[in-house]
Amino acid sequence: MLSGSFKILLFLAATSLLLQACVPVSQPVGSSSSATTQPDTNIPLANYVASDNLKTVRLYPNTGDVNDVMYPPIVPLAQAAPLYLEFDDLTGEYAQYAYKIIHCDEDWTPSQLSNLEYLFDYNEFNITQHEFSYNTRTQYVHYFTPLPKVKQPGNYVLQLYRNDTPGNILLTQRFMVYDNQVLVSPRIGLAEAVAARRTRQQVQFTVNYNNLAVLNPFEQVKVVIRKNYRWDNAITNLKPNFVREGQNQLEYEYFDLRNTFYGGNQYRFFDIRMLNALGRNVGKIKMEPDGVKAFLLKDKSRANQPYTQYPDFDGGYVIENVERGTGTGATESDYVSVNFLLETTDKAIGDIYVLGQMNQYKHTEENKLTYDPAVSGYTGDLLLKQGWYDYIYYAPEAPNPYMYEGSFNQTENIYEILVYFRGQTDRTDYLVGYSRVTVNDD
């Protein structure tokens, strides 16, 4: 991962040594709410969880490195390590789960390829690996499985269901497989527009396509740019502003804001890896009849504060229970209702969400905060597994969605550039170029 994130992993290990003398608390926790499902035809081909009982869904490349869970689910076609799916079922009862894989075009609509054209196996895969939680108040079953290799580069969606109800999709997860046939050369810096230089970062790049027969680059080549592995604010439908046919090169170098992102700020964070002591930015832990609740310290707006760089996970999180020892996070970490409070009298236009990889940056009712005059701020609760979490407060409808975080061109961020190509006789878009770069990683 990033050097800053690696520093945090060292910090997490160091702080774990200080907590070995903690004594477990024994209050019971009630069960979670009942599952809800909806028909297959209504499920979007996006990262989506339709069941209230499925939590901590992760899909990542499994290379055996400690930082694997921080990486997005995108691998080369000739992958040496498989993608890995994990999730918890909070019913606490074993169920037989299976999934299918759908190949998609660049815009995440189903492609015209048949199953045999992109899979080596029959398109139904059973999940056979699972473990029951141990020494936890909330009982759950932890499921995990490697994904099969595929034949074609491009966009894919995993759809999970129970074997006894295959028509009810319980969760969907996007992943991507690339085959680098073009060379992407990114250059990230200040926005060309003077008024945005303090708050935005501009992603300029070129694409060299010597190995492809590109006859109409404006129609055949499609580009997507993501910041910190997010889909909610990704840039799509970006066309080249200059084509150098003699050099087989496309330039994406604009002088407006169409290829810029708000820099945002370093992520806020909190530590609920222990329940017998208060972790970083946790103000109180309360044992209640229906579960454990953690109250974070009051957050305030950072919009008028100077930028300060410190290590973060770029929105990611680590599952761990330091009171149980290392290597037991998957099955010995409890679930905690975490209360967020953003103290402010400056109400935003539209809704406010608490976002991070913990909820895949989804703008849902679960992640939306409500304004409470009694506490003079936005507040809400999320059910999260014990660990260390990054998060931000995000106002998507506001002129500046980072109105409570501040936005700076110095912020450390990760950018991905994905290049898709459809040849004259192709029936889908293939992912032929992938580049990932970190800016301001000091």
68 versus 206: the higher-pLDDT residue is 206
35 pLDDT above the threshold of 70: no
Total number of residues shown for the chain: 442
30 pLDDT above the threshold of 60: no
pLDDT of residue 21: 37
Per-residue tokens: 359: 């909820």
pLDDT of residue 79: 80
pLDDT of residue 327: 65
Whether this model's pTM surpasses 0.85: yes
Closest CA to 203 of 233, 175, 182: 233
Q: What's the whole-number mean pLDDT along residues 94-116? A: 96
Give the confidence band of 115 by pLDDT, cuts at 50, 70, 90. very high
Q: Which residues of 380-413 are buried (b: 16+ CB within 10 A; e: fewer)?
A: bbbbbbbbbbbbbbbbeeeeebbbbbbbbbebbb
pLDDT of residue 34: 34
Give dist(CA 441, CA 437) in Å, integer: 10
The predicted-structure confidence for 225-271, as pLDDT tens digits, reads as follows 999 999 999 999 899 999 999 999 999 999 889 999 999 999 999 99
Query: Helix, strand, or coil here: 122?
Result: coil
Sheet with 54-61, edge to edge strand ranges: 54-61, 83-89, 141-146, 130-132
pLDDT of residue 326: 64
Give dist(CA 230, CA 228) in Å, integer: 6
**What is the per-residue DSSP string for 312-352?**
--TT-EEE--TTT-TT-HHHHPPEEEEEEEEE-S-PPSS-E
- Minimum mean pLDDT among 16-20, 22-26, 288-292: which range? 22-26
For the chain, first and last CA: distance in Å?
14
Give dist(CA 387, CA 279) in Å, integer: 10
Q: What are phi and psi of 40, to 5 degrees?
A: -55, -40
